[in-house]
Structure 1
């Protein structure tokens, strides 16, 4: 099996088979993971892959994964070079929390190439219109997240990012998981099958997901409860759970297209990422291809426009790969502020990884409890923000 350690060493050995166009040099085949088929992340990956095939002769193989672990494990093993992941595979993997806090995982040395920061679609906890009636709000008139009390909310096994997102929306409404009925699903797609067949009343999604459009046209319908950007207390509760969220106006998505949009929340999604050890030249050229082929794939999938160069956020919650930084330096977009922020994030990762190795040497009986305490202590000692 080709491990991720071996992959970086083999990249230079296959340069003779590289396809080159407009000074973009990539292998004839690239592989990355993405969210499940029908998701916004998968659809955007396919659109980007079509542009790479047409202009560079490069075949992008997209492997769908049901959850954060399924998307990140192939990257860790070196079976793929990149992942169009979300906050689970980037921020939470970096932090070593939830599924990434298991003894066989730990804080991961993730690095970003680019992210979709389009802001035209939301990442929201949707409610079946039928469920509004159960809450005494027929037609969903006046329905807010506080009205989810007692209703059925999706919980995805092995997908802490999705579950934390749901928890954040519940917190906005002044609720916790104890206030709702938890319905477990094996993957994101399964939860939306449940939204259609009536198994669950609320599930998380990008507003542009294919499953959302499917559910919006089904008998139960889809409703997006509003997020009020002036509700400081609600937003504080939300961001205490998920600091990567911010209020936005979503203008595209199921039951949104053709309207003035809805007030909801969002964050960067998808996030094209890799590991720190990935070959710098490969990462540089992948970043360059993503941006310089933008005109070829823009408009080819819902919200794919958010990958544009002018929408990149260089002070997000996870660091950029040095290969990507090289490209952004060439474009004149990388600043001293961005570099200082990146360096601080790498210091944060190093502190977490050091704490992880120390705990492994201690071999505590209750790993989860010990790691949670060790992690928070390491972050506080290093002067880093303690999240989770």
Structure 2
């Protein structure tokens, strides 16, 4: 009897262990079952930026797991990253708040007559919190606070409203405006940091883990990130009045920050993976699925890339999610009724802005900027939406 019991116990253990292995294999097979084209393209920030480096790391994971080749096209500013997306020459864009929030809002360069509010949709965003997005200053100036930038040379990126608004917000934190500094124009993000390294400018905006910031740290001038004091609520309000998407954050990753106790500053989601509303839902679904389920393969392969993890996603951000991404998140059990209600409100906001844009175009005003600014703010007010910019 004892031998029989032992036989059945061992048999059941074998069946259970075999079932576990088969279940694991099935799960792994499903995880690799991405219906993606063999060739994908998306735009990103310029070479050397965190957005570009992370995109390359994600592309390598896609290639290894699925055979899909991801072409990452660097764009030097928000317009050059968004134009290929709008034209359908790329399927996605790993962008920032400029190519997402500001494109949606139809402001700054996106307020020009050949642009207007765009039906941008989000798949995922890097919300890691490991990095800050901040204005860095040359380390040879003796600057300690953002107020010390008065009279200094500050980079302005032509065609990159997100970067410039963010810089303006940091100046505001220090009680300054563009009138208090010497504005130096550059044609792209990378050029602005080359300018800092080579002494053409004293301060520029970047993510703390950008390749260019590491170059600056190792360069002859060095690099310093002035801190944001959490107790300075008035200063931080001045910052968020200009750039409402910022939040206080203590960075652990970045030039001059790695290996330290961290840097108290501020940040926001970056990069943000976007598509147009018209992008095929099945493609977006599979791209979102690949981003989530291949995360272990690309995590750790670029500084700050851990923020793409599923548990770090903010489903109630300032730009709506694509229906294909929502389908995946619903299947994954992380999409809520609150997220759907928030998303519906954002879609309605975009519709109100689009209608105001078409009405303004039909009126053919002499002063386009003034007319669109007034029409945009009125549309948001009439719809009960928050007025930003």
TM-score of the superposed pair, with normalisation by structure 2:
0.92
Kept after mapping to 2: 8 A contact 1:21/1:55:
no
The match for 1:321 is: 322
Residue 113 (structure 1) aligned to one of 104, 120, 123: 123
The match for 1:233 is: 234
The match for 1:3 is: none
TM-superposition CA deviations, 1:123-156 (whole Å, max 9, x none) = 0000101122xxxxxxx4xx11111111010000
Written as runs of structure 1 = structure 2, the 5 A alignment for 1:159-178 is 159-178=160-179
TM-superposition CA deviations, 1:11-48 (whole Å, max 9, x none) = xxxxxxxxx97321100010000000000000000000
The match for 1:279 is: 280
Kept after mapping to 1: 8 A contact 2:31/2:293:
no
Kept after mapping to 1: 8 A contact 2:85/2:91:
yes
Instruction: Name the CA distance, whole Å, in 2 between partners of 1:129 and 1:26.
Output: 46
Secondary structure in structure 2 of the residue aligned to 1:104: coil
The match for 1:363 is: 364
C-alpha root-mean-square deviation of aligned residues, in Å? Answer: 0.8
Instruction: Name the CA distance, whole Å, in 1 between partners of 2:141 and 2:42.
Output: 37
Instruction: Name the CA distance, whole Å, in 2 between partners of 1:275 and 1:231.
Output: 39
Secondary structure in structure 1 of the residue aligned to 2:224: coil
The match for 1:7 is: none
The match for 1:77 is: 87
Kept after mapping to 2: 8 A contact 1:216/1:254:
yes
1:30 aligns with 2:31: no
Instruction: Name the CA distance, whole Å, in 2 between partners of 1:170 and 1:333.
Output: 38
1:333 aligns with 2:362: no
TM-superposition CA deviations, 1:62-107 (whole Å, max 9, x none) = 0000000000000011100000010000000000000000000000
Count of residues in Structure 1 that have an aligned counterpart in Structure 2: 360
1:196 aligns with 2:197: yes
The match for 1:344 is: 345
Instruction: Name the CA distance, whole Å, in 2 between partners of 1:131 and 1:36.
Output: 27
Using the TM superposition, give the Cα deviation of residue 231 of structure 1 relative to its aligned residue in structure 2, in angstroms.
Answer: 1.2
Secondary structure in structure 2 of the residue aligned to 1:62: strand
- Structure number, greater radius of gyration: 2
The match for 2:4 is: none
Instruction: Name the CA distance, whole Å, in 1 between partners of 2:79 and 2:266.
Output: 24
Written as runs of structure 1 = structure 2, the 5 A alignment for 1:229-308 is 229-308=230-309
Residue 140 (structure 2) aligned to one of 127, 130, 133: 130
Using the TM superposition, give the Cα deviation of residue 375 of structure 1 relative to its aligned residue in structure 2, in angstroms.
Answer: 0.4
Written as runs of structure 1 = structure 2, the 5 A alignment for 1:81-100 is 81-100=91-110
The match for 1:45 is: 55
The match for 1:311 is: 312
Kept after mapping to 2: 8 A contact 1:32/1:62:
yes
TM-superposition CA deviations, 1:309-368 (whole Å, max 9, x none) = 000001110000000000100111100000000000000000000000000000001101
Secondary structure in structure 2 of the residue aligned to 1:326: helix
Q: Hey, which bits of structure 1, 4+ residues long, moved more than 2 A?
A: 20-23
The match for 2:217 is: 216
The match for 1:65 is: 75
